Amino acid sequence: MYPIRLSIIGLLIFLMGCSTPSTLVEIKKQPSLPKQFFNTDEQAKGDSMQWDMIVQDPILKSLIDTAIQNNNELQIAYQKIELARSQRQFTKGNLLPQVNVGTSSSLRKFGLYTMDGAGNIATEMTPGKMVPIDLPDFYVGIQSSWEVDIRGRLKNLDKAALSRFFSSQEGYKFVVSTLAADVALSYYELLALDNELIVTRENAKKENEVLAFIKAQREVGKVNELAVQQFTAQYFNLLILEKEILQNIRKEENRLNFLLGRYPMPINRSQSSLYTSNQYLSKGISSSVLENRPDIKAASLRIIASKFDLSAAKAAFYPSFTINAGYGLQAFNTRYFFRSPESIAYNTIGNLVAPLVNKSAIKSQFNAAKINQLEAMYAYQQSILNAYVDVVNDFTEIDHLEEVKKLTINKAKLYEQAVESSFDLYKAARVPYYDVLLSQQNALQTNIELIRIHKRSKISLIQLFKNLGGKW
């Protein structure tokens, strides 16, 4: 009889193995990643980069440190690490037998015409005493259950959880990097607004002096009321611009305080930091540095996790084997608990279960795991491509801004000279007053433009460093 049963089990396992789908996943290959971002003779000093390579302002460093300590989004990211850690501990624990201590009590009653009831009538519980119709049962002991990991399902689930744990750690690093960049961007935005405010107030002061001169000219009949009205309107425009800049400063301070994880308060800063020279980043840096980016590392680890998930899903097609065992004390009366060996009870049960009817559900779960792996692989390829393009764009943007900055500096100097020249010529009655107005407007616009170019240059450097995987 036993050989027949074993043959049936063996045949069942064979049939299950024959119908198991493949875990092989193929995707369209992308062109290989270029070794460098640019064809240049420059060579990078190393692939490991820290934020202090480009952040020299001690105030900004302090603000970033504060954000890392207090930012709520960063705390959320940390909790995801703890969640992944707990999930991994859960899957790791499933590899071990589950052992529990428990107690139970019950009262069983069988009818006289049932098999158990008839047996009670003919069975002596003790000499001269038959088994009663109502039979109590008390038990205390250890119960254990262990799924024997024949096909490595539990082991693969554990490896998948471990990969996700590592992925969550990289995700945390990415949030830190993004937070540091956001604080720096907000800080330089604030510095740019400060400098725009300084320029606007200086121009308003000069405009007020010119307006006083124009009013004096009107009193002696050298200009008409139209000139006074236009210069007054120009002065009011500067006052309005000042108000708008102040409002933008308040909003940017609030945004920066939000990143710092605190309520609105004044932000200490150094306006001159906007004009410090940018740190040099070699164009000859190897493109392999992208593999050190936390988000790309996380994407790579998600691929690994998805592969283990797929292997675990494949194992569901095969029979599972579970061993259940128990050992304890059992009696119909608690005072008989410790009468050994009569009260000792134990059991060992092995269950071999193979899916037959529900194979469609298992196949559906397998296909879902396969789709998840494909998604993870394509997401990784896309993240690499996006990162490479972003770095190239950042380098070209920095070069472009450096050239534009030089030209704008020269243009600003010329417009400042034009303001003085036009006013001198106007006083000598050699040019009309609107030439003075036009020169002032051009000078102000160019100075604000130059400030914003300096800001864009800082922002581009921050973005480049972040996209290269700079670490804080």
pLDDT recorded at residue 44 = 53
Which amino acid appears at position 138 of this protein?
F
Is 17 within a domain? no
pLDDT in tens, 307-358: 888 888 887 788 877 888 888 888 877 777 777 787 888 888 877 777 766 6
| Spatial distance between the Cα atoms of 413 and 405, rounded to a whole number of angstroms | 12
pLDDT in tens, 375-390: 889 888 888 889 888 9
Residue 330: predicted pLDDT: 83
In this predicted model, what pLDDT tens digit does every residue of 397-441 receive, in sequence order?
Answer: 999 999 999 999 999 999 999 989 988 888 888 888 888 888 999
Measured over the CA atoms of residue 254, residue 257, residue 258 and residue 263, the dihedral's sign is negative
Q: What pLDDT was estimated at residue 255?
A: 95
**Position 446 pLDDT exceeds 50:** yes
Six-digit token string for 163: 């990969």
pLDDT score of 145 more than 90: no
Asked, for residue 107, whether it belongs to a domain, the answer is no
* Whether the Cβ atoms of residue 283 and residue 395 lie closer than 8 Å to each other: yes
The pLDDT value given to residue 185: 93
Contact status, residue 370 vs residue 310, Cβ threshold 8 Å: yes
Predicted confidence band of residue 192 (pLDDT cuts 50, 70, 90): very high
Task: Calculate what percentage of the chain has a pLDDT beyond 90.
Answer: 26
* Residue 410 resides in a domain: yes
| Confidence at residue 30, expressed as pLDDT on a 0 to 100 scale | 67
What pLDDT is recorded for position 444?
Answer: 93
Cβ-based neighbour number of residue 466 at 10 Å: 23
CATH code at 281?
A: 1.20.1600.10
User: 136 pLDDT exceeds 70?
Assistant: yes
CB 343 within 8 Å of CB 337? yes
DSSP assignment of 13-69: HHHHHHTPPP-----PPPPPPPSBSS--S---S-S--BGGGT---HHHHHHHHHHHH
Does 362 reside within a domain? no
Burial 380-418 (b: 16+ CB within 10 A, else e): bbebbeebbebbbebbebbeebeebeeebeebbeebeeb
pLDDT score for 2? 47
The pLDDT confidence band at residue 291, using thresholds 50, 70 and 90, is confident
- pLDDT mean over 180-205: 94
pLDDT at 413: 95
Which residues form the domain of 439? 25-95+150-315+371-467
| Residue 104: inside a domain | no
Q: Which alpha helices (H) appear in 289-340, and where do they start and end?
A: 294-315
Q: What are phi and psi of 305, to 5 degrees?
A: -60, -40
Q: Is residue 345 part of a domain?
A: no
| Of the candidates 270, 264, 234, the residue with the CA atom closest to the CA atom of residue 251 | 264
Q: What is the pLDDT of residue 47?
A: 52
Q: Are strands 344-353 and 129-130 parallel, antiparallel or unpaired?
A: unpaired
Domain-located, residue 340: no
Number of domains in the chain: 1
90 in a domain, yes or no? Answer: yes
Q: What is the pLDDT of residue 284?
A: 75
Task: Please state, rounded to an integer, the average pLDDT across all residues of the chain.
Answer: 82
pLDDT at 14 over 50: no
Phi, psi of 430 (to 5 degrees): -105, -15
Q: CB atoms < 10 A from the CB of 284, how many?
A: 15
* Per-residue pLDDT tens over the stretch 35-94: 777 766 565 554 556 777 788 889 999 999 999 898 888 788 777 777 767 777 767 666
User: What average pLDDT does the segment 241-257 reach?
Assistant: 96
pLDDT of residue 42: 60
What is the pTM for the complete model shown? 0.78
